[in-house]
Structure 1
Amino acid sequence: MRAFTEQYQLHQEGERKYLTLPALSCYPELQHLFTTRHGGVSSGCTASWNFGAWSMDSEANIRRNYEILAETLDTVPEQLVRTDQTHTTNIRAVTEEDRGKGITRPKDYSDVDGLVTNVKGIALVTGHADCNAVFFYDPVKQVIGLAHSGWRGTLGGIAAGMVRKMAECYGCASGDLITGLGPALCQDCFEVDADVAQRFFDKSTDYQQFAYMRGMRYYVDLKGIIRHDLLSAGVPEAQFHDMGLCTKCHTDMFFSHRGHHGKRGIMAAAMMLV
């Protein structure tokens, strides 16, 4: 991995490493990042910047890792809000009352894989270990959105759902949205049985172009499907961006559920209006 390309920038502060999208970094009112596995305090298979995998790490370590995340965003843990992701397409509009939920105080919601807000100073946080992080920003209305999109969320259309949610709640126009994908499985690493591939084909014949077959297995391009859905929802092609990095292809840099055979930590995507 290089430190900087047109698709991503890799930042390093001591042992801490994280990524940003150049297309979003040009907005001074916006903070965003995607963490790597480097920069936290966890050990073993969750070494070192782990935001989940509770059964393989201590609560104290994970709490400290969130503190480091907050420091990186130049804020405090009480300003973070975390999803309760279960591979749904549910999206929560975050308000002032949600500050700290899932981080410094309990969540009063469940089954939420997307967050959206126009409140400044609140950092939205999602967890990832192969699934796509989808970033959304409307610089006109000053609204941010962040979605966790695994294969089930991608099949359910959570990316297009975020476009609709931003329009319904904040009056955002799809043509104004800047969107981007963090590191996740590439097509060659997302190998599935025929029944999973067929679910995509049953939803849309368009999705057949995002799959190929080798032997008795299919390989599905989830990033390509998300891009297709966003463009179909009205996001301009020039305003879609992808870091172009695969978590399984770079297990030295990222946690990967498939690459580490389930023994891994969880990375975080975060986004905040300053």
Structure 2
Amino acid sequence: MAARGHDEADAAHWAEVFLPELTAAQLASLRRAGFELPKLQHLARTKYGRSLVVSVLVCFTDAYPQAAAAADIARAGEANRMITSRSAGEFEKALQAHGLSSAPAGAVPAQRAPQASERGPGGYPTTATRWWLGWFLVVLLALASLTLLAGVDVGFGVVLGAVWLIAGYALVVRRTVFGRTPVPARVRRSYLWASVALVIGAVGASNAWLIALGSQGVGRVDSESQLTGSHGTRYSQCSVVQPDGNTVDLRATGACPKPDGAPVTMVYVPGDAGSVWRPALGTKGDLEPLAGLWGVGTLVGCGLLVRAARR
């Protein structure tokens, strides 16, 4: 009974403040916009509330002859927040149904959200082609630097590979794969650990290449040289004569293990004079631990990148 009395008082006050009597069609229009008459009547009991109600009627009914101005739309939005449960997006749709918009004049309209057919795996705003092409590019260039280049020069390959993994995340994963939307934490974690595994594994890339392409044989020590590095540091470099007769610097710097002319076991690539693959002292078995590290690091790294791409 008390609630009914309040409603009657609100209705009476509506008339007292010269708010118009609404037709059935106008009431239906208000309901479609999310406004209920009893709540509007209660809102109109204050001077400020009445100004909001007038703006609601201007925007969503023909109770007033004037067209809705920007101030009316703003006040109607305030009324929507105060007495309805509708979101700002739903209110905007109601405005658009009446040919109105809360966007400022001259504002650039928001870009249309990509449709489902335009979204890549996981619903992100990119095509499936760009999604998989982006991940393929990341994996391809990571392997090119951390396996191929690191096989020739481990320092250069590791540094270049690390730089690419950082740049690939910023330029390819964030922009091409995820279309500048936030990258999920699970993908960031997978990418980080994949990068760590690939970089650590690259340390053994040259051993893996020598095992795969090289032969084991007995050559001899040629000579030891004292050289100056790019930073002015002095270091020793040992050269050997391979079993195929080519004289080549060893892959690693340091003193020769034996006197000049002494026989040494090495793994070398026949026919290569050291222009690409330099020999390493020891047997293929000696090279296997680091080669295994390369294999495990590469498999784990690529697996984590595939896992990130399948999310």
TM bin (shorter chain): under 0.3
Q: Which has the higher helix share?
A: 2
Q: Which has the larger radius of gyration?
A: 2
More strand by share: 1
TM-score, scaled relative to structure 2: 0.21
Q: Which has the higher contact order (CA 8 A, sep 6+)?
A: 1
